[in-house]
Structure formats: C-alpha cells, structure tokens
Amino acid sequence: MVPCFSSKVILVHAGNTDAWFKCVQTFCNPGDGVLVSEWTYPSAVATMVPYNIKPVAVSMDGQGMSSVGLKKVLEKWDESTTGMPRPRVMYIVPIGQNPTGATMGIDRKQEIYDICVEFDVLIVEDDPYYFLQEAPYVPQSERSATVRFINDEAYLSSLAPSFLSIDYQGRVIRLDSFSKTIAPGCRLGWFTCNSTFAERFERQGETTTQAPCGFGQSIVTALLLNWGYDGYIRWLRALASQYQLRRDFILDCLGDEFHLKLDYETSGVWSGCDIYRAFDKAPADVAFNEKLAAIQPMFSLVSPTSGMYIWLQLHLDNHPSFNSDGDGETLEMQLWTDLAEAGVLFAPGWMFSAKEDNLDAPGEGQFRISFSHADFDATKKAITTFGVVVRKFFEEMTRRHVP
C-alpha cells in the first residue's frame, strides 16, 4: 500500500525516457506486467521488454485509456492464466497521447485514479506534450482570425489538470521534459513525486545515467533566468499557438487533397469523437453525394487537441485486393513502402501496438504523422504526394465503383 504523502519533491532527470527507465528499475521485477494504453509510445515498451516486464494493453476511446477497460483488466486478472501477478504500475501519456493525439479530461483522470487506489496501482504520468494543448480544429472555410488567448492567465487556465493535481496518496509520478518546449535532444526534465520515491530515483541515477548533462542544464537555466516566469509562460503560450497553426495547416492540406466528411464515432479508439472520413474528391462532372453513395473512405482521422501527431486509421478492407482472411498488415506496409519511395515518411502503426501479437483487426492499419518539424512548404508537398500515392493505391477500387 502506498503511504499517504501531502508534499511533493522535484528531481531532475535526463529526459522522460530515462525517467521511465528509472521507474521500471525501481518499481518492477522480472515477470511483472505494466498497464499501458493499447496504442502507446514504443520506447516505453522497449525499455521494459529486456527485463522480462510485459506491457498489459488497456482499451482506449477518444480520451485515451478507458477507465471501463482498466477496471475490467484489473477485476478479471487471473495470475494462473496470465503467468504474472496483477500489475501494480501504470504508464500513461494523458495529453497529446502518443500516437493518437488524444487529450484526457479531469473526469476521466479521476475515474482512473480511483481505480488505481482500489487496486493499489502506481501511476507514471508521462506528460511531455502538456503545454502543447490546442483548441479544437475548425475547417478553413469556417475559421475566423481571432486570438486564442487574451493573456497568460487565460492560457494557463485552459490547460487540462494533471493526475498530480488529484493525487492525495502520493501514488503519481509525473514526468516533465524540456525537450518539447525548449529544444529537442536537450535531455533534461524532472520528476514530481513523493519524497520516498524521489530518494530511490536519486539512488538509481547514481548507478545508471547519473545527472543530466551539466552543459545542457546551464544553457536551459540561463535561458529561464533570462526569461523569468512570465517570459517562460509567454513562450509556452506562443509555442502552443504555433502548434495549433501547424495542426490546422496540415489538416487544411488534407482537406485540399481529399473530401473530408465529418462524422461521429461511437466505438473503438475514437469513441465519442468527431471524426473525418477521407474520400477521393469527385470529378468535376460527378456530384460528390452521388460518388459517396458508391465508394467507401480510404482513411479516417480525428483532429488532435494537443501534441504534435495525427493518427490515421486506414480503411484497408476497402482496398480491392483485401481478402476476408485479413491482410491489413501487408497492405499497411505496402502503402508505407510506396510513400517512402515517393519521399514521404510516416510512422507505421504496428510499432505503437502494445498488444502481444502486434496485429490489427482484419482490414485495419494506421499511420502516425508528425507536424512538429517540417515547414509549411514541405508539409504541403508531403500531403500532395501522400494524396497522389494513396489515390493510386486505391485506384482499382475507384475504377470499379465510380459510375
């Protein structure tokens, strides 16, 4: 049982992946399982596997990890069939969930926290995208040129509360990083946790990565001292606005290449979300509604409201060569290869799967797209190329069904 702690300690680490490694080394034994979302950050899983610590996938919906799915996993846990004790550690990315881009609200966090109290589970809150929260996407034709935040207070109050804000037992270990807000690769972040855990992490550091690079620490410290608190908040505010601009631009580009039809999802990973289904645009002499009645979408997406990723759900079951036995993984990699050969590199979805067999349901496939780095010209070119490749990939289906 986790003792009750009212105070928190902050301790630096060499980036969130290093921090997660220290959590694994501190809290897990060989043969243990760790609760993770069914789609999750692959390096987090890769950190555990060499120590014979396995991911235990929990179902997701539009807010990320499902509280219903979590309780079902824990209530029905049977050590005799799973071969390992019931998990006592959870790894979760609640804001800008990598790879789906989901943002978890405080009500869902409270539900998950209460379940973790009931089953005595520690929560490792990996939150590098926390300050990159964005407003919902509005199509370009409906968008007005308004300032999102009138001041710093409005920006801060708009941020979703963290698990740490509701932690009254000291069971939350929060991981923050400067890599997504100051500079990628600076390898500097911080734990926020109870004092007992902080002391253990300090000992772990002495025997593993030691302290973060002193040179990097000095640069980030000098920058923050020069900015001051108010300056840093203004920087974060501007950064969030920049990510929203980039998110809007890449979605606008997809809207230029495809007909994006707004729908509402009632099941699966995007349950409860407005979803855009992408169709090839109708020729000038064919009304889109007429075409829509004849064909199926090529992919779907949900506009992220934080972070830097767009998660595409490929409708490979609509590909003409798809068979009922299910060859989605083969088709996913075929399309990925076609895109790579055309000069566009997306992350294939299978690498983010926490499921043991790593397989999708028949006809499913995913890509994760990052909009954090490329400039607008490169982004436009990439999406245009993506449109050409995807249409060619599905062209046999199009020829077969369009009157």
Nearest 5°: the CA angle 279, 254, 327 is: 55
Same domain, 176 and 280: no
Q: Answer whether residue 261 is part of any domain.
A: yes
Percentage of the chain beyond pLDDT 70 is 89
User: Which CATH number do you get for residue 371?
Assistant: 3.90.1150
**Would the pLDDT of 321 be above 90?**
no
Question: Taking the mean position of all CA atoms in its chain, how far away is CA 326?
Answer: 26
**Would the pLDDT of 86 be above 70?**
yes
Q: Answer whether residue 223 is part of any domain.
A: no
Nearest 5°: the CA angle 119, 123, 125 is: 160
Same domain, 83 and 172: yes
**Would the pLDDT of 403 be above 50?**
no
Q: Which amino acid is at 88?
A: R
Residues 335, 340: Cα–Cα separation, whole Å: 9
Mean of pLDDT values over 246-250: 96
- 185, 177 Cβ separation under 8 angstroms: no
Same domain, 195 and 311: no
Q: What pLDDT score was predicted for residue 282?
A: 66
Q: Answer whether residue 234 is part of any domain.
A: no
- 89, 32 Cβ separation under 8 angstroms: yes
Q: Answer whether residue 345 is part of any domain.
A: yes
Same domain, 31 and 142: yes
**Would the pLDDT of 165 be above 90?**
yes
Same domain, 256 and 156: no
Mean of pLDDT values over 101-117: 97
Q: What pLDDT score was predicted for residue 186?
A: 85
Kindly report the number of other CB atoms within 10 A of residue 46's CB atom: 11
**DSSP 8-state secondary structure symbol assigned to residue 212:** P
397 — pLDDT class (breaks 50, 70, 90):
very low
Same domain, 257 and 332: yes
pLDDT digits (tens, 9 = 90+) for 272-313: 889 999 999 865 555 555 555 447 899 999 999 999 999 999
Residues 241, 229: Cα–Cα separation, whole Å: 19
Q: What pLDDT score was predicted for residue 324?
A: 53
Of 201, 217, 233, the domain-final residue: 217
Same domain, 213 and 254: no
Backbone angles phi, psi at 126, to 5 degrees: -90, 110
Average pLDDT, the chain: 88
Provide the residue range defining the domain that includes 130.
9-217
pLDDT digits (tens, 9 = 90+) for 128-161: 999 999 989 998 888 887 767 678 888 899 999 9
Q: Which amino acid is at 342?
A: A
Helices then strands, counting H and E runs in the chain, come out as 11, 15
User: Which CATH number do you get for residue 188?
Assistant: 3.40.640.10
Structure tokens, 38: 């069914």
Partnered with residue 262 across adjacent β-strands are 276
Of the listed ranges 65-74, 97-106, 191-200, 328-337, the least confidently predicted one is 328-337
Same domain, 199 and 306: no
pLDDT digits (tens, 9 = 90+) for 189-223: 999 999 999 999 998 888 877 788 888 899 999 99
Q: How many domains does the chain have?
A: 2
Same domain, 323 and 207: no
394 — pLDDT class (breaks 50, 70, 90):
confident
**Would the pLDDT of 62 be above 70?**
yes
Structure tokens, 250: 């890449």
Structure tokens, 201: 């992490």
Same domain, 129 and 73: yes
Same domain, 61 and 122: yes
**Count of alpha carbons within 13 Å of 351, Cβ hemisphere only?**
14
**DSSP 8-state secondary structure symbol assigned to residue 307:** S
Sheet with 172-177: strands ordered across:
9-13, 189-193, 172-177, 122-126, 89-92, 33-37, 54-58
Burial code of 210-240, b = ≥16 C-beta within 10 A, e = fewer?
A: eebeeebbeeeeeeeeeeeeeebbebbbeeb
Same domain, 272 and 187: no
Global pTM value: 0.90
**Distance from the first to the final alpha carbon of the chain:** 66
